Structure 1
Amino acid sequence: MQYISFIQDPSNDYLGETIAYLKLCGFSIAAAIIIGVLLGALVSRNAIVAFIAVNLSGLIRAIPIIAIFLTFVPTLGIGFKPAIIALIILGIPPILLNTYTGIRGVDPAMIDAAKGMGMTTLQIATRIQAPLVTPLVAAGIRTSAVQIIATATLGGFIAAGGYGDYIVDAINVGNNTELIVGAVSVAILAIFVEVFMSWLQSALTPQGLKVQEQVATAKA
C-alpha cells in the first residue's frame, strides 16, 4: 500500500519524526504534570489564590491554541522550544484544576480524626489525602495528555518537528498520503494514551471509592 511505502521510504524519516513527536509530547506532559500538581496543591491552601488560579486556567483554555503557539515565536524563534512551552501551558489547567478539586474534596473530618490519632502532616498526606486525590489527578493527567498529543500537530506550523510536519507539508503540496499517515499516527498515539490512562486511573482508585461509585450509579 502507498501508506506503508511512505513509512518505509528513508527520505520521509518516519522513525525520526515519530521520535521527535514523542519527545515533544513526552516533555510537555511531564512538565505539565509537575507544574500542575504543585500549583494545584499550593493554591488549595488559599481561597483567594485558588479563585485567581481557577479563573486563569479557564481563560487559558479559552485562548485559541494557535495563538499560544505563535506568542513565543518572536522571542524564541521557530522550532521545538516555543512549541513545548505552548503545550506545557495548554496541559497545566486540567491537572491543576483536578488536583485542587481533589484536595479540597477530602472530608475535613477525616483530617481531624487523623490528627487526633497522632498522625503527622506527612502521614496524613500520604495515607489519607493521596489515595483519595490520586484518581482525580490521574483523570486530569489523562485529559491533559490526550489534549497535548492531539494539539502538538500545530507545532508543524512553526517547524517543531514530528507528525505535525507531515500534516503541514501535506496541506501545502496537496499530498493526501502524507496527510493520512500523519493524522492516523497521531490518532493511534492518542487512543493508546487514552486507554492506558483509563486503566491507570482505575488501578489507582481505592476499592472503597469504586464501591461508592457503583452504589451511586445503582441508586441513580
Structure 2
Amino acid sequence: MNITWEKLLRLTAEHLTLSLSAVLLAIAVAVPAGIFLSRSRRLADPVITVVGLFQTLPAVALLAFMIPLLGIGSRPALVALFLYALLPILQSTYKGLVGVDAAAKEAGRGMGMTPAQMLVMVELPLAFRVIMSGVRTSTVMIIGWATLAAYVGAGGLGEPILTGFALVSPRLILAGGIPVTVMALLADFLLGRLERWVTPRGLRV
C-alpha cells in the first residue's frame, strides 16, 4: 500500500472530523447532565456508574456490537466514540459544580441572583477549569481511539496503521501513528490555551 501526501491529508481530515464530532456531541450531552446531577446528587453515583460501564468495554468489542445496529462506516464509529467520551466530561462537570465554594454561592444568593443567574455567572465560571480538564482528557483519548474506527470502515488514520500491522510495515504504522500523536498533543495545547483565555483573570494560576 502506497500512501501519498494527498491521501494522508484526507485521512487526517476524516480522523479529525470523527474525533471532534464525538467530543462535541459528548459535551452537548455530558455538560447538561452534569449540571442536572449537581442538583440531584442522589442520582449522581448510579448515573456515573452506568456511563462508566462503557469505559470497561474493549473499544473493538463496542465497535463490533454497533455493526448489527448501525451497519459499517462512520455512524457506528461516531456512536462508540461518543459513548467513550462521555465519562470524563460528565465527571468533571459534576465535580466542578459540586466543588464550587459555598461562600461564593451564598454571596450570589445575597445579591438576589436567580438559580439560572447563579449557574451562568458564578458556578460555571468557577467550575470551568475542572470541566475543561475533562474535555481535554476526553479529546486526547478519543483522538487516539479513533484509529480503531478503521475496523468498521470509518476511515481515518487507523487505515494505514491497521494495514501496516497486516503487512508488517513500520512505514505505514508511523504514517498513521505520528499524525495521531501530533494531533492529540496539539489539541491538548489549544484546549489549554482556551481554558486559560476563558478563565477569569483572578482564577488563573
1:133 and 2:127 matched: yes
SS in 2 for 1:44: helix
SS in 1 for 2:4: helix
Offset of residue 113 of structure 1: 2.6
1:172 and 2:169 matched: no
One-letter amino acid of the structure 1 residue matched with residue 21 of structure 2: F
- 2:100 aligned residue (91, 106, 127): 106
One-letter amino acid of the structure 2 residue matched with residue 103 of structure 1: L
CA offsets 1:159-194 (integer angstroms, 9 cap, x no match):
110101111122122232211100111111011011
1:84 and 2:78 matched: yes
CA distance in 2, matches of 1:85, 1:58: 15
Aligned length: 204
1:48 and 2:42 matched: yes
1:192 and 2:186 matched: yes
Would the aligned equivalents of 1:153 and 1:163 in 2 still touch at CA under 8 Å? yes
| TM-score normalised by L of structure 2 | 0.92
What is the identity percentage for the equivalent residue pairs of Structure 1 and Structure 2?
33
Which residue is 1:116 aligned to? 110
Which residue is 1:143 aligned to? 137
One-letter amino acid of the structure 2 residue matched with residue 80 of structure 1: S
CA distance in 2, matches of 1:68, 1:37: 23
Quote the RMSD (CA, aligned, Å): 1.7
One-letter amino acid of the structure 2 residue matched with residue 199 of structure 1: R
Structure of higher CA gyration radius: 1
CA distance in 1, matches of 2:24, 2:103: 33
Offset of residue 139 of structure 1: 0.7
CA offsets 1:3-48 (integer angstroms, 9 cap, x no match):
xx8433x5xx222212211111121111011111011111111122
SS in 1 for 2:120: helix
CA distance in 2, matches of 1:153, 1:107: 40
Which residue is 1:7 aligned to? 4
SS in 1 for 2:155: coil
Would the aligned equivalents of 1:95 and 1:141 in 2 still touch at CA under 8 Å? yes
Which residue is 1:216 aligned to? none
CA distance in 2, matches of 1:68, 1:35: 20
One-letter amino acid of the structure 1 residue matched with residue 36 of structure 2: L
One-letter amino acid of the structure 2 residue matched with residue 7 of structure 1: T
SS in 1 for 2:39: coil
Mark the runs of 5 or more structure 1 residues left unpaired by the alignment: 212-220
Q: Which 10-residue stretch deviates more, 134-143 or 17-26?
A: 17-26
